[in-house]
């Protein structure tokens, strides 16, 4: 059981950091292990934002192996060297925790090749690359992660998030949601459910050159959609295809720079409540998530089995 | 309480050598005696006065506190309780075993009014998953939509949703009637055992999958039939009964009931007794 939440403001920007925090905090009982945010922030859209980690959070019930913090600095230096070699120009650098960084940079070449080279450094994982996507995930509840990464000040148009109860893989950041739609900029995915044909799909996708960072079944959705889009499918086409391509029970959200989508499996086994108006769409695993940002009486509904919806900002 | 003390006389089991222990103490078995008032008391119930009305704002209460407060009000004789600001909280109004007018001014989360036996509930909002699960008797009316597993395992009473419902409506239903004014999702009537479901709108795939017994009436399109579910001709008594039920539910006033599709179980399980418990009593 995990909790997922998402919202999209159509035609305006809002306080999405705090809004998503309220929604995810309301779903804490569904997933106390880790919390993740994919915020589509009001950045200038000129430069890439790369968020990456050079190690794991080893506290707060983590299943990761404890490492000396000095190795984090060494890995970070290796990343800096690699960025220079790749011709990326770092404009701004922020150290958020001992193990995670946010870089603002200029880069004009192929992102797949770029990502492969950066991630060839031991224990380095790119959490996201995008011009508006700010993907943050860590152990702890929504409030703890918001405070740790100072997300309360982030404004933007849309966001998706996840409160995780680890069932298929470890309690660590690499298995936490959201997952970045590698190697596409600004694509992120959150999922509630279990996928039963993970290994079959993973083998096929890895043979096609796609990369998996964790053994979390949910990562498959991000990679599956990225592969479809790489071959020319639109986001909605990829999502519709996933209803038959992915086996198991799932409700997932996917977000891009200017859109937000949801898909529900053909068994409708996982919950989702949806509120839709002209200027706002809010959805979550439970109604209380939506009520946390819309306390007045509203009309909500459960999407049916096999339903796919995509909204634009 | 009957007090059984071991008598000098050997039991049959003792005389057969099965055991030699001398049994003492009280038996757990209760013998019914109409002279004892406790035999007519349904534990956890209250005598309430419908004219005694009170509003209860649960905005700052969690579900446990809210349910305790409802229980307290019933013990004080309040028969009409209006719950304000439920805000999608889970498990509100559960386990009420007496007559009561319960009105929710807003939406409920999961397991709203679950395991009830008798109250009349009106929810002026939406309900989440498993609303009225295991209901024994009473009437529940939802003004908006409902989530999945609506009326799971209900055993009696009327459960009415004026909007649309999610998947697996009436899963494991064992009696009573579920009425839906809008559409219903996949696996409606899944493993249904008794009772009736009326859907005025469309239903999703696998309708009545693995149903043992019971009847499903559908007014709109059917995504597909599930295993064991088959269509059966509508009879006059079906039409009369549905009309009566819709009138009580206050929905589908001009709905053409005669064009509905009737779905029943296509195979009889070995040694399965199709009689309703009430019918059984009549037969005896």
Q: pLDDT tens digits for chain A (313 residues)?
A: 799 999 999 989 999 999 999 999 999 999 989 999 999 999 888 899 999 999 888 777 777 777 888 899 999 999 999 999 999 999 999 999 999 999 999 998 888 889 999 999 998 999 999 999 999 999 999 999 999 999 999 999 999 999 998 877 788 898 899 999 888 889 999 999 999 999 999 999 999 988 888 888 888 998 999 899 889 999 999 999 999 999 999 999 999 999 999 999 998 999 999 999 999 999 999 999 999 999 888 899 999 999 999 999 8
Q: How far is CA B5 from CA A15, A70, B22, B25, B36, in A?
A: 74, 77, 9, 6, 21
For residues A49 and A92, what is the distance between their CA atoms, to the nearest angstrom? 9
Spatial strand order in the sheet of A308-312: A179-180, A188-195, A248-255, A259-264, A308-312
d(CA B147, nearest CA chain A) in Å:
6
For residues B210 and B269, what is the distance between their CA atoms, to the nearest angstrom? 11
Chain A partners of B163 at a C-beta cutoff of 8 Å? 301
Name residues 289-308 of chain A within 8 A of B (Cβ). 290-291, 295, 297, 299-302, 304-306
- The whole-number pLDDT of residue B10 equals 66
Residue B117 bridge partners (DSSP): B137
For residues B107 and B100, what is the distance between their CA atoms, to the nearest angstrom? 19
- Least CB–CB distance from A305: residue in B126, B163, B204: B204
Express each pLDDT in B7-21 by its tens digit: 556 667 677 777 676
Kindly state whether A266 is in contact with chain B, defined as any CB-CB distance less than 8 angstroms: yes
- Least CB–CB distance from B145: residue in A271, A288, A302: A302
For residues A189 and A194, what is the distance between their CA atoms, to the nearest angstrom? 14
Sign of CA dihedral B128, B129, B135, B139: positive
DSSP letters spanning A137-197: EEES-HHHHHHHHTGGG--EEEEEEEEE--SSS-SSSTTSSPEE-TTSTT-EEEEEEEESS
User: Is A268 in Cβ contact with B107 (below 8 Å)?
Assistant: no
- ipTM, 2 decimals? 0.82
| pLDDT band at residue B30 using 50, 70 and 90 as cut-offs | low
- The whole-number pLDDT of residue A110 equals 87
Which residue segments constitute the domains of chain B, with CATH numbers given? Answer: 46-267 (2.160.20.60)
Kindly state whether A288 is in contact with chain B, defined as any CB-CB distance less than 8 angstroms: yes
d(CA B245, nearest CA chain A) in Å:
25
The gap from C-alpha B31 to its chain's centroid, in whole angstroms, comes to 29
Q: Does domain A3-312 have CATH number 3.60.20.10?
A: yes
DSSP designation for B97? -
User: Is A290 in Cβ contact with B166 (below 8 Å)?
Assistant: no
């Amino acid at each position: 059981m995990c909790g997922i939440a998402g919202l999209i403001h159509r035609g305006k920007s809002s306080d999405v950091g705090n809004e998503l925090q309220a929604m995810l905090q309301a779903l804490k009982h569904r997933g106390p292990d880790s919390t993740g945010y994919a915020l589509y922030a009001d950045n200038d859209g000129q430069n890439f934002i790369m968020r990456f980690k050079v190690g794991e959070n080893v506290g707060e019930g983590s299943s990761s192996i404890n490492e000396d913090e000095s190795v984090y600095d060494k890995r970070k230096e290796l990343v800096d060297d690699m960025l220079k070699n790749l011709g990326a120009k770092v404009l701004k650098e922020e150290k958020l925790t001992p193990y995670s960084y946010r870089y603002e940079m200029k880069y004009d070449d192929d992102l797949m090749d770029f990502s492969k080279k950066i991630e060839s450094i031991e224990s380095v994982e790119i959490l996201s690359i995008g011009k508006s996507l700010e993907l943050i995930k860590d152990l702890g509840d929504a409030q703890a992660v918001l405070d740790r990464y100072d997300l309360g000040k982030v404004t933007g148009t849309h966001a998706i998030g996840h409160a995780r109860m680890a069932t298929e893989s470890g309690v660590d950041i690499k298995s936490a949601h959201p997952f970045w739609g590698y190697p596409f900029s600004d694509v992120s995915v959150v999922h509630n459910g279990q996928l039963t044909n993970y290994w079959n799909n993973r083998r096929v996708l890895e043979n096609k050159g796609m990369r998996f960072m964790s053994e979390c079944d949910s990562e498959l959705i991000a990679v599956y959609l990225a592969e479809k889009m790489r071959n020319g499918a639109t986001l909605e086409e990829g999502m519709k295809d996933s209803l038959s391509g992915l086996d198991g029970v799932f409700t997932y959200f996917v977000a891009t720079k200017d859109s937000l989508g949801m898909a529900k499996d053909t068994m409708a086994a996982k919950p989702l409540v949806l509120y839709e108006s002209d200027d706002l769409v809010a959805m979550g695993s439970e109604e209380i998530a939506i009520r946390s940002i819309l306390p007045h009486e509203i009309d909500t509904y459960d999407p049916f089995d096999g339903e796919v919806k995509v909204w634009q900002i | 309480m009957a007090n059984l003390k071991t008598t000098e006389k050997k039991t049959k089991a003792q005389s057969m050598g099965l055991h030699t222990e001398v049994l003492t103490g009280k038996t757990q078995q209760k013998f019914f005696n109409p002279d004892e008032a406790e035999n007519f008391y349904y534990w956890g119930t209250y005598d309430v006065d419908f004219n005694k009305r009170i509003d209860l704002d649960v905005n700052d209460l969690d579900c446990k506190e809210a349910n305790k407060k409802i229980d307290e009000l019933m013990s004080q004789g309040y028969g009409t309780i209006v719950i304000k600001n439920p805000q999608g909280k889970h498990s509100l109004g559960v386990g009420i075993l007496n007559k009561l007018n319960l009105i929710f001014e807003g939406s409920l989360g999961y397991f709203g009014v679950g395991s009830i036996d008798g109250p009349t509930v009106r929810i002026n909002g939406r309900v989440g998953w498993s609303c009225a699960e295991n209901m024994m008797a009473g009437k529940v009316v939802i003004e908006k939509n409902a989530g999945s597993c609506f009326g799971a395992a209900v055993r009696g009473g009327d459960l009415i949703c004026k909007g649309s419902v999610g998947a697996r409506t009436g899963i494991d239903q064992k009696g009573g009637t579920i009425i839906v004014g809008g559409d219903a999702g996949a696996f409606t009537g899944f493993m249904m055992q008794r009772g009736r479901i009326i859907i005025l709108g469309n239903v999703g795939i696998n309708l009545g999958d693995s149903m043992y017994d019971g009847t499903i009436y559908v007014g709109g399109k059917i995504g597909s039939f599930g295993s064991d579910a088959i269509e059966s001709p509508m009879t006059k008594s079906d039409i009369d009964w549905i009309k009566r039920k819709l009138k009580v539910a206050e929905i589908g006033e001009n709905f053409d009931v005669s064009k509905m599709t009737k779905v029943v179980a296509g195979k009889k399980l070995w040694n399965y007794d199709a009689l309703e418990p009430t019918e059984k009593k009549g037969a005896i």
